[in-house]
Copies of this chain bind each other. A is one copy, B any other.
Amino acid sequence: MAQPKYLTGDKAGIEEFIDKFDVPEVLEMLRSRGKQLVFVTNNSTKSRADYKKKFDKLGIPAKVDEVFGSSYSAAIYISRILSLPPPKNKVFVLGESGIEAELESENVPYVGGTDPSLRRDITPEDFAAIADGSMLDDDVGVVLSGLDFHVNYLKLAIAFAYLRRGAQFLATNTDSTLPMAHAFFPGAGSVGAPLVKAIGREALALGKPSQAMMDAIEGKFKVDREKTCMVGDRLNTDIQFGIEGKLGGTLMVCTGVNSKEDILGEGKPVVPAAYVDSLGDLMG
């Protein structure tokens, strides 16, 4: 029988989640019992299709439609809820290609993102052209902030200028840190923090624990909330997401971001309905 090890929900990459914890066996068991699986990730750098490729590489059968990422959640929110009238529906993206792919899947026009012309130092001419608006696109009505490994002052200055002109301020997610390489790095919420500080208000976040994401998942998968269990390792995203969504269950796996000490005892702010040391324990 597989050795229990560690589970991260999704942490920085589903690859960690899968590599280490005999997750394939657990998922197979759940599928064999007729459970619908949805992989809910706040990682905005990858599209659902990118995740499908990852699953394929790891030998785990999964469909693109089972993946629900914060980029997709944001794209749906923009196209179906905000539903800004064209042409003022363009999005300035602070983030990577995963966001672009999901915006494309919802036919939302965008600028910024991985545009190579913005991957450079700001110049004195840029300051002037941002200030007088000649460098800005008049059709931008939304700034969408996510995890951007290519963040720079030029992109921040442009995004801030759009916000000052009244653009809606959205974030794929606001995780402060990104678990990676067995350490922590600045997360999407930290990458977008300059915009929050400069404009003086928070973005509307569309990843866990935002209930905008839960509503979108419910709409898409027709889930019965009472018969749904949220499994995850992070209290202030995964577990809070399930609790606020009034799901039938929340299961914390104590192998990732948070530990048992964070949930046992008095006065803990977020407490799951149940916990296991590792996901492999579900096989017992």
Which residues of A are in contact with B by a Cβ distance under 8 Å?
121-122, 127-128, 130-132, 148-153, 156-157, 160-161, 164, 176-177, 180-187, 189-191, 193-198, 200
Q: A198 contacts which chain B residues (CB < 8 A)?
A: 176-177, 184, 186-187, 190
CB contact under 8 A between A164 and B181, given known A148-B153, A190-B194: no
Q: A187 contacts which chain B residues (CB < 8 A)?
A: 198
Instruction: Please give the distance in Å from A161's CB to the nearest CB on chain B.
Output: 7
Query: Which of B148, B149, B152, B156 makes the CB contact (< 8 A) with A190?
Result: B156
Query: Which of B127, B160, B186 makes the CB contact (< 8 A) with A194?
Result: B186
Instruction: Please give the distance in Å from A123's CB to the nearest CB on chain B.
Output: 10
Among residues of B, the one whose C-beta sits closest to the C-beta of A160 is: B186
Instruction: Please give the distance in Å from A249's CB to the nearest CB on chain B.
Output: 29
Contact A185 B121 (CB under 8 A): no
Instruction: Please give the distance in Å from A197's CB to the nearest CB on chain B.
Output: 4
A160 to B152, CA, bound (A): 17
CB contact under 8 A between A183 and B153, given known A177-B198, A193-B194, A194-B194: no
Top 3 A-B pairs, shortest CB-CB distance: A131-B183, A193-B193, A131-B181
Q: A194 contacts which chain B residues (CB < 8 A)?
A: 186, 190-191, 193-194
A161 to B156, CA, bound (A): 22
Contact B153 A186 (CB under 8 A): yes
A52 to B198, CA, bound (A): 29
Contact B176 A200 (CB under 8 A): yes
A182 to B189, CA, bound (A): 29
A195 to B176, CA, bound (A): 9
Instruction: Please give the distance in Å from A115's CB to the nearest CB on chain B.
Output: 15
Q: A181 contacts which chain B residues (CB < 8 A)?
A: 127-128, 130-132
Instruction: Please give the distance in Å from A148's CB to the nearest CB on chain B.
Output: 7
A34 to B186, CA, bound (A): 51
Q: A157 contacts which chain B residues (CB < 8 A)?
A: 185-186
Contact A184 B197 (CB under 8 A): no
Contact A153 B153 (CB under 8 A): no
Among residues of B, the one whose C-beta sits closest to the C-beta of A194 is: B190
